[in-house]
Amino acid sequence: MSKNIILTNQEIEHKIKRIAYQIYETFVDEEEVVIAGIASNGSIFAEKIALALSTISTLKISLCEVIVDKQNPHLPIQTSLTVTQYENKGLVLVDDVLNSGTTLIYAVRHFLNVPLKKFKTAVLVDRNHKKYPVKADFKGISLSTSLLEHVQVIFDENGNDYAFLS
C-alpha cells in the first residue's frame, strides 16, 4: 500500500491555528473552555489546539482526555476530569479523524448527559463517510475517500506530524 500525504506538518500547524481561532470566536464570551480529546490521537490534537488557543486568548483552558473503547463504543466512557469539572462550561470534543462517526457519536452522547453552556466538535480530517448523524463544527480538511481507503494521522514526538491516505 502506498502512502499519499494529505497534510504535511506545516499544513497541520496552520489548521491547528485556524481551529484555535474558530474556537476562540465561538467561546469569546466564556471565561473557561474545556478541550476534551478522544484518546489517543484526539488527545494529542486537543493538546496542540489548547496550546495554540492559550497563545491567542485569555480563556482559561482545561484539558480532558476522553477514553472510548473503539471496539465497543457503547461501553461506559471515562474522562480524566470529573463531571463537576466540566459541567456548566463550554466544551469542545476533539478527535483526529471523523470516519464513520461511531466514536464521536458515543462520546457526544456521554457529554449530552451533562449540562454544558456550549458544546462543539473538532476534527483534523473529516472523511464524509458517516454511519451516524454527527458533524464536526471545526475541521481541518474535508476529504471524500472510498471505503477501502484509510486515513491515518501521525503525531511525531519530534514535531514531524503528517496525515496520509493508504
Q: Residue 1: what pLDDT?
A: 45
Q: Residue 37: what pLDDT?
A: 98
pTM to 2 decimal places:
0.94
- The CB-based long-range contact list for 138-146 (8 Å cut-off, 24+ gap) reads 138/19, 138/22, 138/23, 138/92, 139/19, 139/98, 140/7, 140/12, 140/15, 140/16, 140/18, 140/19, 141/6, 141/7, 141/15, 143/6
Q: Residue 105: what pLDDT?
A: 94
As a whole number of angstroms, the distance between CA 23 and CA 31 comes to: 13
pLDDT, average across residues 62-77: 94
Amino acid of residue 16? I
pLDDT, average across residues 59-66: 97
Task: Provide the β-strand partners of residue 36.
Answer: 64, 93
